[in-house]
Amino acid sequence: MKTVVSARDIEELIRSGGDANSVPADAILTPSARDLLRDLEMEGGGKPKPAAAAKAAAAMAADKPQPPAKPLTSQSPKAELQAFFHSPYCADLKQQLVEIGRRLWGRAYVDGNGGNLAIRVGDDLALCTPTLVSKGFMKPEDMCLVDFAGNQLFGSKKRTSEILMHLQMMKQQPKDVASVHCHPPYATAFAVAGVLPPTCMIPEYEVFCAVALAPYRTPGTPEMGKLVADLVDKHNTILMANHGVVTWSHNNLEEAYWRMEIVEAYCRTLMVAAQLGKPMNTFSSGQLKDLLKIKQSLGFVDPRYGLRECELCDNDEWRPGVTCAVPGKADGPAPAGPDSEAEAVVQAVTDQILAKMKGGG
């Protein structure tokens, strides 16, 4: 079986004194692993140069303000929590919230004061955005520190009313370190229609997103948060019926935001493609299987790991637990569906009009 190698695997290998040339020639490389190997080769004049890469990784880590050695909790002394809230580490995260909010507004994924963001900063603590502020125009000092019950501990502005959903997700999914909620129009349109986007059409969507649909409840209520939290074990992108989308990441806020860009671009592309009057092509289940291997190596959740190949790309039939006895659609002539009926009607009307034009002059 081919092994999947990620950029992180290569960095680990180099850090532990290994040689990047020892990566098996038939390994499946993630795109970032391929980039890293190419960069190392360029730097080393054909041969990877381990010391330089390790130095670069160390410099990057040193540049970022680090979290406290022992994570704080809501029970930590108030003075400690206050110092933490004003630490360089939190200042950096607050700046990230400002920046991602600016990108959400710039891409028209939020409207009015809609949308909200949260970052886990301790065992039961999160930084989040304030309510009643446009996400495009926040300042670092607007951000709030809350405990996992939703109580606001610090911050002069009031925390978002939708924080409960973010916290319920983090409680349910221990890997969730950051989440983004907004109302991007194309993905939200799928959520309003109650339709899960079909799969096997664009690789990036398959690798970065694992999408599910949560039923509608009033925003900000514990019921809404629970319905979303029930899905985060195996999904990182939740369409919220008649509302919007929420994504989470086990790496950082920016990755949760990327997920939002990717699901929105995917839904937009599908809607444009649907207008071209041609059937949409998909890639094969085998090709999806390769993408899922990459996805798993990146640590992203997905409900399809371990499914048989024939279950992977069947957009009409796919359900967890289906048997593979359903005959392929390519077998036999296409059944007379609504499309061929519609064509027949159009043809009949056209014939009648032509006959009238000929007869009536």
Q: Which residues bind Zn ion (CB under 5 A)?
A: 244
CA distance 281 to 283: 7
| Minimum CB distance to Zn ion smaller for 48 or for 115 | 115
Taking the complex as a whole, how short is the minimal distance between the CB of residue 183 and Zn ion, in angstroms? 6
Is residue 146 a contact partner of residue 153, using CB atoms and an 8 Å limit? Answer: yes
| Minimum CB distance to Zn ion smaller for 110 or for 200 | 110
Distances (CA, A) of 89 to 77, 94, 126: 18, 9, 13
Distances (CA, A) of 301 to 234, 247, 331, 357: 5, 12, 34, 62
Residue 146 belongs to what H/E stretch?
strand 144-147
| Minimum CB distance to Zn ion smaller for 199 or for 237 | 237
Taking the complex as a whole, how short is the minimal distance between the CB of residue 266 and Zn ion, in angstroms? 20
Q: What angle do CA 336, 339, 343 make, to 5 degrees?
A: 100
Taking the complex as a whole, how short is the minimal distance between the CB of residue 245 and Zn ion, in angstroms? 9
| Minimum CB distance to Zn ion smaller for 162 or for 206 | 162
| Minimum CB distance to Zn ion smaller for 184 or for 244 | 244
| Minimum CB distance to Zn ion smaller for 166 or for 293 | 166
DSSP string, 211-262: EEEEPP--TTSHHHHHHHHTTTTT-SEEEETTTEEEEEESS-HHHHHHHHHH
Is residue 252 a contact partner of residue 205, using CB atoms and an 8 Å limit? Answer: no
Residue with the closest Cβ to Zn ion?
244
State how beta strands 125-128 and 116-122 pair.
antiparallel
For the CA atoms of 41, 42, 45, 47, the dihedral, rounded to the nearest 10 degrees, stands at: -10
R_g of the chain, CA atoms, integer Å = 25
Taking the complex as a whole, how short is the minimal distance between the CB of residue 220 and Zn ion, in angstroms? 8
Contacts of range 316-320, beta carbons closer than 8 Å, 24 or more positions apart: 318/199
| Minimum CB distance to Zn ion smaller for 28 or for 133 | 133
| Minimum CB distance to Zn ion smaller for 197 or for 244 | 244
Tokens of 227: 């319905």
Diameter of the chain measured on Cα atoms: 94
Taking the complex as a whole, how short is the minimal distance between the CB of residue 97 and Zn ion, in angstroms? 16
Taking the complex as a whole, how short is the minimal distance between the CB of residue 90 and Zn ion, in angstroms? 25
Number of C-beta neighbours around residue 301 at 10 A? 18
Taking the complex as a whole, how short is the minimal distance between the CB of residue 78 and Zn ion, in angstroms? 32
CA distance 145 to 66: 18
Taking the complex as a whole, how short is the minimal distance between the CB of residue 109 and Zn ion, in angstroms? 11
Taking the complex as a whole, how short is the minimal distance between the CB of residue 154 and Zn ion, in angstroms? 24
| Minimum CB distance to Zn ion smaller for 50 or for 225 | 225
